[in-house]
């Protein structure tokens, strides 16, 4: 067991990623130098005797995912800079002597998921409404403080919340309209005399009238009734007339729907924990209003559907085709393609499909909702791009490679995606890449023709599709190469591709690294060199000279080490190609 103070020199360990000094007898301040270890993603100082305030420099840890300072003697307010630790998934500051108000910047921790525990401190003031933005949060504990005022109604938006404890405060007013609050045991709510909620165990109803108030209300109601009854009678007649018209139109629409769907059920869910009706999806998106749209691709628009149960889905509605082929025929062909592909596919790096609908001539797909958004969004936004460090970017590249290897080599018959791009790769809360949007996918059956019209996203389509329309796995290989370079460069490699087409392989390797990140050091350099080398092989103009995705996935998983012919700052792309060619020749 260690004792004494935390050495400030630990901050000099620039490659430090995990620091666990919990359950010791450490005393004194937390040295601010500790927060200069910019690669730190896990910090645990819990169960010690640390005192004084949490340094504001904590906001420098932009990659930090796990923070535990619980069971110490820390005092003072929580620094608002903690809101800059936007990669945090776990935050525990419980059982200290923290005071002041709760910083609203905690609401900026978009990825906070596992825990937010500020219990057993001395914080006062109101709960900031910004906490309602923590839609991934599963456990919230604010108990045993001096918090006052109402619980913000915005906390009803905590759709992932499973457990909550706000006991032993001075909170008042109704509970938020949230399942976790309504199902919370009495022990999680007691100690708040002004708290009310008819649905919560042990709480008084939120509205109580005195006898005089009741009498006044009774008199007012008599006056209102005398005035309103004649008006209501007239309105009811109008309503009945409107209902008759509505029923007539509803029957007509229903007949049309049944005709379009061939009398079959318009919705089916086969891969989800509970039954969902398509009408629930329509209601949640307000009949697919644009304000619920979260993306638009070449094949369709994607909407976010939040159901009253708290379940969230991504719903894709296909665009009508403008080809000479009839829209219904074209959409049904695309629909069957995605249906066939996704009903058979099960892979951690491929988005799950929960259901489908063919209704009134429109096609819909219901997917799992990837909370992290698309890879393209992460690379475009400055703050998010900095969170997406070299380790996470390599994780994304490996995940996409594994998914494509599965589609091409483990599915029988093979499946070609045909639209691999930054916008069609989603990230979950753990930064696991998931390929989505199978609207253009083709199943390569030997008994059928694999000729088709060129499809895909501009800038990712293999060059041979300009002169031929035969679908092969090598189309996906090329697109993967473009995406891999995009991940390394931090933007679409349009200029790089043009340069390479004219033989510009004398370009320095360091030139294609995203300048928003610190230059890579240590073992990560070898992994990046390998990833870039494989990406360059994937974008070769001749499809036959490109590797298979099985080969790419295997090389990345094996972590093949390429002997560097020059220092990193002098290494060229041609050096990478020469070394890899030499290694593969020797293998043969």
Listing DSSP states for 316-356 in one string gives: EEEPPP-SSS-HHHHHHHHHHHHHHHHHH---TTB--EEEE
Going from N- to C-terminal start, the domains of the chain cover: 3-196, 267-368, 373-586
pLDDT at residue 452 greater than cutoff 70: no
Report the candidate in 468, 471, 454 with the shortest Cα–Cα distance to residue 408.
471
Tens-place pLDDT, residues 200-233 = 457 778 765 433 344 444 555 555 665 666 676 6
* Across 8-17, 129-138, 384-393, least confident range: 8-17
Query: How many other CB atoms are there within 10 angstroms of residue 236's CB atom?
Result: 10
- State the pLDDT at residue 214: 43
The residue with greater pLDDT, 156 or 214, is: 156
110 belongs to the catalytic site: no
Contact 580, 555 (CB under 8 A): no
At residue 439, the pLDDT reads 66
Q: Which fold has domain 267-368?
A: Phosphorylase Kinase; domain 1 (3.30.200)
Provide mean pLDDT across the span 399-406. 94
Residue 212 CA to residue 210 CA, distance in Å, equals: 6
| CATH code 3.40.50.1820 for 3-196 | no
Taking residues 302-323, report their average pLDDT.
77
Mean pLDDT of the chain: 81
- Tell me the pTM: 0.55
Contact present, 484 and 535 (Cβ < 8 Å): yes
Are residues 311 and 365 in contact, defined by beta-carbon separation less than 8 angstroms? no
List the catalytic residue out of 84, 92, 165, 419: 419
Protein fold of 373-586: Transferase(Phosphotransferase); domain 1 (1.10.510)
Check if the beta carbon of residue 366 is closer than 8 Å to that of residue 359: no
Which residues are within 8 A (CB) of 207 and not within 5 positions of it... i.e. 6 or more apart? none
Of the two residues 55 and 361, the one the predictor is more confident about is 55
Cα 442 to Cα 451: distance, rounded to the nearest angstrom: 10
């Amino acid at each position: 067991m260690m004792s004494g103070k935390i050495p400030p020199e630990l901050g000099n360990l620039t490659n430090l990623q995990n620091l666990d000094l919990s359950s010791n007898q450490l005393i004194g301040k937390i040295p601010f130098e500790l927060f200069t270890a910019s690669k730190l993603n896990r910090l645990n100082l819990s169960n010690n005797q640390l005192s004084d305030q949490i340094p504001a420099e904590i906001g420098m840890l932009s990659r930090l995912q796990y923070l535990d300072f619980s069971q110490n003697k820390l005092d003072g307010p929580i620094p608002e800079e903690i809101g800059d630790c936007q990669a945090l998934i776990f935050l525990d500051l419980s059982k200290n002597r923290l005071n002041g108000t709760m910083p609203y910047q905690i609401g900026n921790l978009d990825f906070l998921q596992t825990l937010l525990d500020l219990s057993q401190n001395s914080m006062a003031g109101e709960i900031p409404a910004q906490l309602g933005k923590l839609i991934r949060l599963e456990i919230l504990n604010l108990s045993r403080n001096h918090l006052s005022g109402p619980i913000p109604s915005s906390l009803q938006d905590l759709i992932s919340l499973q457990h909550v404890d706000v006991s032993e405060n001075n909170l008042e007013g109704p509970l938020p309209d949230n399942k976790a609050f309504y199902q919370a045991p009495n022990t999680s709510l007691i100690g708040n005399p002004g708290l009310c909620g008819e649905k919560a165990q042990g709480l008084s109803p939120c509205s109580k009238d005195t006898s005089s108030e009741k009498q006044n209300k009774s008199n007012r109601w008599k006056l209102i009734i005398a005035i309103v009854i004649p008006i209501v009678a007239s309105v009811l007649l109008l309503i009945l007339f409107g209902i008759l018209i509505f029923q007539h139109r509803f029957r007509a629409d229903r007949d049309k729907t049944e005709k379009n769907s061939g009398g079959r059920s318009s919705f089916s869910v086969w891969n989800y924990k509970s039954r969902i009706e398509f009408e629930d999806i329509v209601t949640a998106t307000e009949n697919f209003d644009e304000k619920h749209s979260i993306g638009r691709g070449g094949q369709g628009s994607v909407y976010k559907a939040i159901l009253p149960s708290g379940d969230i889905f991504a719903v894709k509605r296909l665009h009508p085709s403008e080809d000479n082929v009839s829209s219904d025929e074209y959409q049904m062909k695309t629909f069957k393609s995605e249906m066939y592909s996704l009903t058979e596919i099960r892979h951690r790096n491929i988005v799950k499909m929960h259901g489908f609908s063919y209704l009134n001539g429109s096609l819909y797909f219901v997917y799992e909702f990837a909370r992290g958004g698309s890879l393209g969004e992460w690379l475009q936004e400055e703050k998010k791009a900095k969170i997406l460090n070299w380790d996470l970017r390599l994780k994304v590249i490996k995940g996409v490679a594994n998914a494509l290897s599965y589609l091409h080599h483990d599915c029988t018959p093979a499946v070609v995606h045909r639209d691999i791009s930054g916008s069609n790769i989603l990230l979950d809360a753990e930064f696991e890449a998931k390929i989505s949007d199978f609207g253009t996918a083709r199943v390569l059956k030997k008994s059928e023709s694999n000729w088709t019209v060129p499809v895909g996203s501009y800038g990712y389509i293999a060059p041979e599709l300009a002169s031929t329309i035969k679908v092969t796995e090598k189309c996906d290989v090329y697109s993967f190469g473009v995406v891999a370079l995009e991940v390394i460069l931090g933007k679409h490699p349009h200029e790089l591709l043009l340069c390479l087409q004219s033989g510009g392989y004398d370009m320095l390797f360091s030139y294609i690294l995203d300048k928003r990140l610190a230059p890579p050091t240590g073992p990560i350099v070898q992994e990046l060199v390998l990833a870039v080398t494989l990406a360059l092989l994937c974008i070769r103009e001749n499809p036959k000279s490109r590797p298979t995705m099985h080969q790419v996935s295997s090389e990345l998983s094996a972590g093949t080490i390429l002997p560097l012919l020059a220092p990193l700052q002098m290494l060229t792309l041609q050096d990478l190609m020469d070394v890899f060619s030499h290694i593969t020749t020797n293998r043969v």
